[in-house]
Structure 1
Amino acid sequence: MTIAKRGLMLGATALAVAAVTVTGAGIHLSQSKAFFEESPKELIDEVWQLINRNYVDATFNQVDWEAVRTDYLGREYTDQESAYAAVREMLEQLEDPYTRFMDPQEFRNMQIDTSGELTGVGIQISQDEETKEIVVVAPIEDTPAFEAGIRSKDVILAIDGEPTEGMELNDAVSRIRGPVDSEVVLTIRRGEETLEVPITRARIEIHPVRYNVQTGPEGSVGYIRLTQFSANAATEMSAAIEDLEAQGVTGYILDLRSNPGGLLYSSIDIAQMWLNEGTIVSTVNRQGVVDEEVASSRALTNKPLVVIVDGGSASASEILSGALQDNQRAVLVGTRTFGKGLVQSVRSLADGSGVAVTVAKYLTPSGRDINKHGIDPDIAVELTDEQREQLASERDLIGTVDDPQYSAALDVLVQEIQEARAGNNVTAAPAN
């Protein structure tokens, strides 16, 4: 099955705001052409058919998928809610937290997300495939969750006192989100410590790109922090690069730390701004069909580039950083990325509900499958617990020389600038 480039998403996580979403690289909606009557069984069969045609694993997790259809269509359902519960139960047999059903409200909330204005606490959460724990991928900067000190890799043990053990990801998101100015208390595990974190929900307007010019030993440096691959990320990134170029920066540091991903096409568009040629990403479906995205000579700059990544850099962040690393366009500094390399397609159903189906996996340009592993930086720079605490409490230090990973990235960038200048100064010897 051919899927439109802008109809894919990679590595799903959920965004705990009133706009529930699936994030990780590339959200977009593709309207299902098959409509069903307002019959619970027809809804179940429509979802079954979508999985049967498109799911990435042709064995359906070693499940007899035909038998599943016979089973669920042989039952009686009193209303749509009972059908929704049956669909979720049916999908659980795939043991894939990223293939999931969304009722009409959840689906509408997901659609709102890409507008860049959200209501809630501002965290992306995922469900660990093995332990089933609810894990924070990353808080969004300048949101209530970020202000409260929530961090990437925090495990959410309870929501308002309700244990999350056995809780579905959608249910966790529904419990975390809520009206503006209301409070939710998250019980989290961080290492060996258990914390109670009260968070007041708010309306959140997201501007994913922030940038400034900083002084470096080899001239001014453009620092760009990208927090999410939302619908406006590419536009804001383009404006940032063009402004920094006009200011004559000598090189760039691109900060993707705690960026949980977002729209696939956004990551591809942004990769085009840094790459003139080379593969950006390829996806492989269950038939082994490879769909490849290639740079098309649209780079806005060729100046030296260093990218900072960490364990909160997921999906779209991994597409971008993997493309830049494999094409030797940038040096990666920091720690191993999150490791989400799965592709989902989101389909709307006739009653306003929707389903996200894992349809493929993605590979970096060199053919790496980074799912569950992540991308290793070229230069590893770990933060101590004390350094993490300081950066969490003093956010103004992020992207300054008092930020150890930024400082290391700046040292690498200086070396890259010097090597680029030396290369430009080399001239061919005259022929004898």
Structure 2
Amino acid sequence: MITTEKLYSHYQENPIISTDTRNISTGCIFFALKGDNFNANEFAQQAIEKGASYAIVDEEKFASDQCLLVDDVLSALQDLARYHRQQLNIPVIGLTGSNGKTTSKELVNAVLSEQYKTFATFGNLNNHIGVPLSILSITKDVEIAVIEMGANHQKEIELLCTIAQPTHGIITNVGMAHLDGFGGFEGVKKGKAELYAYLKAHRGYTFINRDNAYLMEMSTKAGLDKLIYYGTENGNTIKGSLKSSDPFIEIDWTNHDVASTVKTNLTGSYNFENILAAICIGDFFDLTPEQINAGLSGYQPKNNRSQLTQTESNSVICDFYNANPSSMSAALNNLSVLTADHKIAILGDMFELGPESAKQHELIVKQASESGIDEIILIGKDFYAYKNEITATFFQTPAEASTYLQEKQIKDSLVLLKGSRGMKLESLLQFL
């Protein structure tokens, strides 16, 4: 059995980690993870033949000089990341929340990179595998890291904190997400608060939206004392107000009585608090207002989150990377107040809601029907259950909806396209 220390010496010589034989680079270390339907131990030798220096396996029959044996490959990956983190003497900002995690992470990184050499989680590599991979991607020249942490059940954030070991942290918000795994909304709060518990135990700094009653309650319960506040009221380190959000967000903000205004390329008034959080963190790390504004105004949203895309025929708000009741409600509210001659909401089912699913879909159906939006298109079996409840167009699958959109040929409209990742609503964009 190879020790973590010995494995780390190999990692220092070959600091590239792979978990997929389709993405083997010369000199990398391949971790043969197991899943419900695969056993990557079986592909360890293939990884070596493709150029990996070593493969990490946990079945003795696959071990060799280059296929190094450990008790459990996943645990070995996590332990290696912990060991690497302990060698890094830099601020690590741990970031979680029900909505806005990835956008907030990108904004914080955009701001801090105006002054520092930064690292931020790639995409949404934010789980028990993604966080170790992110930590192991931090090089010696990085000055600040921003690590996104996602969870769909309790104790997951607690685990990720032991790997990322954040010195600073932020919970963007708590909402109706992953209710099935967390066991309801109170379970969501308890799960996200695991970041607060870690920061309290390790005397870390916490950035908190003072306008959010849930976060204030959770921070008080955790006994946090190193708090940096942002919000819309006086008394915060950063105070902000929404100047415009039609279609792009512009905000006024002050720090230490210095007033500033910044216009961004983000749509959706719900992103106001994410922008304010990035300002607060930038200010804490001594960036000037000019640097902060440059980072925010230069950020271009991507990954189909609050991304306004111009097609040949329409303006489309691409927000179909994921969805839950909180983000869906916010997106509908945003669309209802935007200026456009004709507005359409195309919504797909929301997943991982457990026993709450029927109720939450019903609430979104009701909100959509009362929103004043010109046309509502609802897709998926959960929404389809309400096809006789409101005036809307219903489809059970995206394939059915694509046929309809091809025939209808929507033009000159502002379209919201939002649903859970599993609905694959990106397939509809070509018809808009």
Instruction: Assess same fold via TM > 0.5.
Output: no
Q: Which has the higher helix share?
A: 2
TM range (shorter): under 0.3
Higher relative contact order by CA 8 Å / sep ≥ 6: 1 or 2?
A: 1
Q: Tell me the TM-score normalized by structure 1.
A: 0.25
